[in-house]
Amino acid sequence: MPLLDPTPRLAIDPKSVQVHLTAGTGIDIEWKDGHRSHYTFQFLRDACPCALCDDERTKVRRMPGEPPQVAPGALPMFKAAAKPVSVEQVGKYALRFHWNDNHDLGIYSWAYLREVCPCGECSGMQKSEVRRQK
């Protein structure tokens, strides 16, 4: 079962993007269709769309943005909360984060960000689709 449709259903641009880098609270996007999305930095780090992270997620069937599971009985390793050191815009279509764990391979396109929007409305939609596929 593919976890994520590779062709985005909603090719939509943001009307405004706010990155709260100093406050560390994440990013807010208001889309041209009026929808608003809020992403925490931890969510975005766990949703990194690069081939490396995507591969790791696929292996354990983790959804983008879902935190990695700690194996039963294993001690959780201490990890500093994910925070970008810097954020740059890539052309007109994406954001690129340079994370505090030195990872910067993920290009977060608007289409991808909209696809993984964690709000109740959107994630509810994704879940009902998963149910339908079963």
Q: Which residues bind Zn ion (CB under 5 A)?
A: 48, 50, 53, 105-106, 117, 119, 122
Number of H helices, E strands in the chain: 4, 6
Residue closer to Zn ion by CB (options 83, 134) is 83
> What distance in Å separates the CA atoms of residue 108 and residue 97, rounded to the nearest whole number?
8
Residue closer to Zn ion by CB (options 119, 130) is 119
Residue closer to Zn ion by CB (options 85, 119) is 119
Residue closer to Zn ion by CB (options 19, 31) is 31
Identify the H or E element spanning 27.
strand 26-31
Provide the minimum distance between the beta carbon of 99 and Zn ion in the complex, in angstroms, as a whole number: 8
Residue closer to Zn ion by CB (options 73, 97) is 97
Instruction: Label residues 79-88 b or e (16+ Cβ within 10 Å = b).
Output: eeebebeebe
Provide the minimum distance between the beta carbon of 103 and Zn ion in the complex, in angstroms, as a whole number: 5
Provide the minimum distance between the beta carbon of 121 and Zn ion in the complex, in angstroms, as a whole number: 5
Residue 36 tokens read as: 């608003």
φ, ψ for residue 15 (rounded to 5)? -85, -40
> What distance in Å separates the CA atoms of residue 44 and residue 20, rounded to the nearest whole number?
13
